[in-house]
Amino acid sequence: GAVVSQHPSWVICKSGTSVKIECRSLDFQATTMFWYRQFPKQSLMLMATSNEGSKATYEQGVEKDKFLINHASLTLSTLTVTSAHPEDSSFYICSTDLGVGDIQYFGAGTRLSVL
C-alpha cells in the first residue's frame, strides 16, 4: 500500500493566487520529507528538505519566500506556492525515507497548472 499520500493530485489556479500541497505519511512518523519539482519530460530536482519542528532547508536557487514549507507534525508537510505564476506550472512530488536513509517513498505527485 501507499506509504506517502499527496493531495491534491491536480490543481489549476489563476496567476497571483497561492496553492497549498499536502504530503502525508501514512502509518508512520516522518521527521524529514523532501520536495521535488519536475518539469515536463525532465528529471526530478530537489527543492527543499522539510524538517519536523524546524525550518526547511532549501536548495540553491529555490526561493524560500516563494515556496513556503511547513512541517508542523510528524505526519504532514505542506508546500505553499505563493503568488503563483505560469512559470511555476510543474509537477511537484514529495517523499520521505522513513528515517532509515537510503530508500525513499514518493507521493503520487501534484500537477500544478497556473493560468
Cell of 112: 500544478
Please, what is the minimum distance in Å from the beta carbon of residue 71 to another protein? 16
Cell of 8: 491534491
Considering beta carbons, is residue 72 or 103 the nearer one to another protein? Answer: 103
d(CA 94, CA 105): 8
d(CA 11, CA 102): 31
Residues between 51 and 110 with contacts to another protein, criterion CB under 8 A: 93, 95, 102-109
Please, what is the minimum distance in Å from the beta carbon of residue 97 to another protein? 9
Among 6, 50, 75, 90, binds another protein (CB under 8 A): 6
Binding mask 11-50 for another protein (x = CB under 8 A): -----------------------x-x----xxxxxx--x-
Cβ 105 vs Cβ 6: under 8 Å: no
d(CA 52, CA 29): 10
